[in-house]
Every structure is written in structure tokens, then in C-alpha cells.
Amino acid sequence: MPHRRMDKQIVFEDDDIRVIFLKGHSRELVFSFGDLITKANGMSINAEKSLSKYDYNVIGVMPKRKSWFPAASMQAMLEQIQPILAQFDYVAGYGGSMGGYAAIKYSRLLGMNRVIAFVPQYSINPDEVNDRRYSEFFDAELNANMRIERSDIAPDSEYILVYDPYFEADHEHYSKIQPLIPQLHTIHLPFTGHDALAVLASSTLLNDFISHEWDQQYFYKQVREVKKNSKFYYRNVIARFLPKHSAKLGKILKNGEFQLDGQYLDAQLKQLITRTLLTNKQVNEQDLLKLGIKVNMPHDQEQRSLLQDCHQAYLVFNLITQKLESYSQDAISLNNKYLISLQAKETGLLSVDLNNERYMVVMNDRRIMRLVKEQDALSPDMSPIVLKKYPDFYVLSYKNLNLSCDEYGNCHFSVEHVQNTEKFVVI
């Protein structure tokens, strides 16, 4: 007996996929394929909220493993769902990445009239593509003959493929898929990398992709509307262009009237932006507030001895990013409210002085740093960073790892040995 929950039922399941039928009232049937992130989880279906909003009949094909929808599983599924397929004259397929691959690969097998594929793979076989992002998931037996072939393509069907033409890894797959499909409509989504699906997450747009007659001008207009409201899009643009166009960031902050919330920037992007700001200009609180960054400000810091890395930059604790980093003396002088120079002293726990109180610098195995008052207890996952004094240099250690700084000022605990890159001298 199939498992039932409201208007859903599992109609097929094996070791690799779980297939769920969500009954709606549409004339269309939509195959919605999950990806590496949206794997099988109870009765959940990929893009379920958006598809339910328009009351689509949906067959959710959810991967239980990172196995790229093996052909044997899909063939066995087809035999089980034939009674459902027979009820519909219009079938659409939808998915991204691994799910986009499946939507194209099995479009003819499942009788699809339209396929919507975001950043799909042609294959993950390392003998067939240079892309190595997914090579570890390739199983020569399970994924035999997995590449998309011309025989997989339904000759009278429409295919809509969305990808970033400037993202080399995905462009390789597109260049191999494109010659196989006679009726291919391509939507370019520049500067989004592999995140096209996240950028264009929209119920209205998905509904258009499934049921609206193809009109290139119309679809690009709809895509632009969704894109301009997508924080994922702006994150990708910032991350791609900031290193080469850092001066523009200062102009944007100075002239722009905007206010981001505190969750808009992830930790990596926040560090990139703040490093750029602190390196190139004096940062003020208004700049940081526009970026949704709040900092507990210390009082003015007294001059102190500086620890210099092998690139002639100086080690600091960055109050904005909550990380150890290194900067030029000019950047520290301009931004000494945020960049707290580390004191060189005897061997002991690494600490900083803020507002006449001493704080230990501590970290956990996920590389999250914190400042903790010396008299306070540590949480179980945190360990102190130790400053070790040797005759001619200092070393900073977390457990058995030593701190190394690269030429860009990023510092990482990643090596057990002590070479020049892990040695700091007092200036």
C-alpha cells in the first residue's frame, strides 16, 4: 500500500529515488526533480510551495542519494506511474543542477512537452567532462552511459535552459547539451555562477516557465523583475566584481541610499567587503550600517607593539568580521577603532584590550572566533588561541595548528609545521 498524507502519495521508491504524486487540478502534469540540496525528506517535493500555489498536478522525483537519477530507477518508476501519466496531455519537467540534468535526460522517456532546466550537467563522468565538481559521485556501474544523448531528446518538445555563460564549469555542460536539442531556448543569467535557481526563485516565474507560450522578450522581462529583487543575485555580483573594482564600493556607500538587513551578507562576503573597505579608505559607522553590520565600538586604543607577518603586514583582530587578519600600517591607522592590533608579550593566551577590559581570542573547529572576557567560562566547543614566544619570532596556535597569513591578509589555522609564513616578528 502506498503511504498517504493529505493529497500526496508515494508512488515509487527504491534505494536512489522517492517519487511522490501531489494531486492538483491543473491540465498539466509537472515532474519536479530535486537536486543535491533538496534530497528526499519525508513527503517534501522540490519547489512544492510554488507549484501548489498554482494547483499543479506534480510528480516529485526526489533523490535519496547523490547518484544522478540512475536509468534503472527511472525506468522502474515509469512502469509504476503509467496510470498517472495516461491522464495528462501536457507534461512539463523542471529542475536545477542534478535535477536539471534529469529533466533533460528523461524528457523523451517521460513524454515531456516542455523542459525547464537550470544549470544542468551533461554528465558527471570524468572521462566525458573536465568539470570535477561532481566526479566523486560518479559510479561507473550505476551511471553507465549517463551522458545526455540526442536519443534522450523529444524532437517536438520545447527546452528552456537557464545558466551563466561566464561561469566556465556550467558553460562546458551547456556547450555539450546545446547541439543535441533542436528547440532550445536559452536564458543567460550572467554573474550568478551555479546559483541561477536561487536567484530566480519565484512562484510567478515558475508558473510562466511551465505554461506561458515562449516569448523571449517576455521571459527576459520577467527574469529581470525577479533578479532585481534577489539578494542572491547581488551577492554573486559583489563577490565576482569587488576584488577588481574595489574603488566603486566606496562610491556606492557614499552616494547610495539603501539599508541592508543584518542577514543579507554571509560571513565570507562580509569579510571580503570589509577587507576592501578597510584597505582602501577610512571606514565610518554609517558605511557599516548601510551594509547591515553593527559593531560594538571600543574606546580609542593606545599605541601598542605590532606583530608583523612575512608579507610586511600587521596582525590585528578585526571587530567587524570577528577574525584575525593582517593589514598595512596605513589601513590600521585609518581604522584603529575596528582593527585592534595584537600585543606582543610572553607566551600565553592571545588577548586584546577593549574599553579597559581584557578579552581572550577563542575559536572552535568550525573556525568561528569570539572574544571572551578573561574571567568568563568558555563554551564547550571553544578553545583559546595561544601566543608562543620564541627567541626571534612569535607563533599563534589553535590546538595543533599554526596561523599562516597570505599576501591578501587572510589568515588561517591550517599547518602543523612552523615555516616563515607562520612566523611573526615584533615591530
Please give the sequence-ordered ranges of beta strands (E in DSSP) within 124-233, or none if there are none.
158-163, 184-188
Map grid coordinates 539603501 to a residue: 258
Instruction: Tell me the average pLDDT of the chain.
Output: 88
Which tops the pLDDT comparison, 337 or 128?
128
- Domain termination residue (choose one: 254, 273, 294): 294
Q: What is the pLDDT of residue 117?
A: 98
Tell me the per-residue pLDDT of 142-153, one tens digit each, with 9 for 90 and over. Answer: 999 999 999 999
Q: Is 237 a member of any domain? A: no
- Domain termination residue (choose one: 206, 230, 254): 230
Q: Reply yes or no on whether the pLDDT at 319 is more than 70.
A: yes
Q: Which domain holds residue 252?
A: 242-294
Q: What is the pLDDT of residue 297?
A: 58
Q: Reply yes or no on whether the pLDDT at 360 is more than 80.
A: yes
Instruction: Please indicate, yes or no, whether residues 173 and 24 belong to a single structural domain of this protein.
Output: yes
Read off the CATH number of the domain in which 99 is found: 3.40.50.1820
Instruction: Please indicate, yes or no, whether residues 207 and 270 belong to a single structural domain of this protein.
Output: no
Instruction: Please indicate, yes or no, whether residues 78 and 219 belong to a single structural domain of this protein.
Output: yes
Instruction: Please indicate, yes or no, whether residues 288 and 381 belong to a single structural domain of this protein.
Output: no
Q: What is the pLDDT of residue 2?
A: 41
**Residues in Cβ contact with 96 at an 8 Å cutoff, skipping those fewer than 6 apart:** 35, 117, 118, 119, 120, 196, 197
Instruction: Please indicate, yes or no, whether residues 107 and 164 belong to a single structural domain of this protein.
Output: yes
Which 3 state secondary structure label does DSSP give 181?
Answer: coil
Instruction: Please indicate, yes or no, whether residues 323 and 266 belong to a single structural domain of this protein.
Output: no
Which tops the pLDDT comparison, 377 or 273?
377
Structural domains counted in the chain: 3
In degrees, rounded to 5, the angle at the alpha carbon of residue 138 between the alpha carbons of residues 170 and 47 is 55
pTM for the model: 0.65
Map grid coordinates 608579550 to a residue: 345
Instruction: Please indicate, yes or no, whether residues 301 and 251 belong to a single structural domain of this protein.
Output: no
Q: Is 80 a member of any domain? A: yes
Q: Is 236 a member of any domain? A: no
Tell me the per-residue pLDDT of 371-417, one tens digit each, with 9 for 90 and over. Answer: 999 899 999 999 999 999 999 899 999 998 999 998 889 999 987 77
- Domain termination residue (choose one: 230, 257, 285): 230
Tell which residue, 148, 226, 239, 242, has the closest CA to residue 189: 226
Question: In the numeric block, which cell numbers belong to residue 35?
Answer: 537536486
Please check whether residue 332 is in contact with residue 314, taking contact to mean a CB–CB distance below 8 angstroms.
yes
Instruction: Please indicate, yes or no, whether residues 273 and 167 belong to a single structural domain of this protein.
Output: no
Q: Is 235 a member of any domain? A: no
Q: Is 192 a member of any domain? A: yes
Tell me the per-residue pLDDT of 9-33, one tens digit each, with 9 for 90 and over. Answer: 999 999 999 999 999 999 999 999 9
Question: In the numeric block, which cell numbers belong to residue 29?
Answer: 502534469
Which 3 state secondary structure label does DSSP give 212?
Answer: coil
Q: Is 88 a member of any domain? A: yes
Sign (positive or negative) of CA dihedral 184, 189, 195, 200: negative
Tell which residue, 105, 93, 94, 17, has the closest CA to residue 61: 17
Q: Reply yes or no on whether the pLDDT at 107 is more than 90.
A: yes
Instruction: Please indicate, yes or no, whether residues 256 and 359 belong to a single structural domain of this protein.
Output: no
Q: What is the pLDDT of residue 233?
A: 79
Q: Reply yes or no on whether the pLDDT at 161 is more than 90.
A: yes
Q: Is 397 a member of any domain? A: yes
Question: In the numeric block, which cell numbers belong to residue 217?
Answer: 522578450
Instruction: Please indicate, yes or no, whether residues 115 and 72 belong to a single structural domain of this protein.
Output: yes
Q: Is 166 a member of any domain? A: yes
Q: What is the pLDDT of residue 129?
A: 97
Instruction: Please indicate, yes or no, whether residues 25 and 142 belong to a single structural domain of this protein.
Output: yes
Instruction: Please indicate, yes or no, whether residues 220 and 327 belong to a single structural domain of this protein.
Output: no
Read off the CATH number of the domain in which 332 is found: 2.80.10.50
Which tops the pLDDT comparison, 240 or 124?
124
CA dihedral defined by 151, 154, 158, 161, rounded to 10 degrees? -30
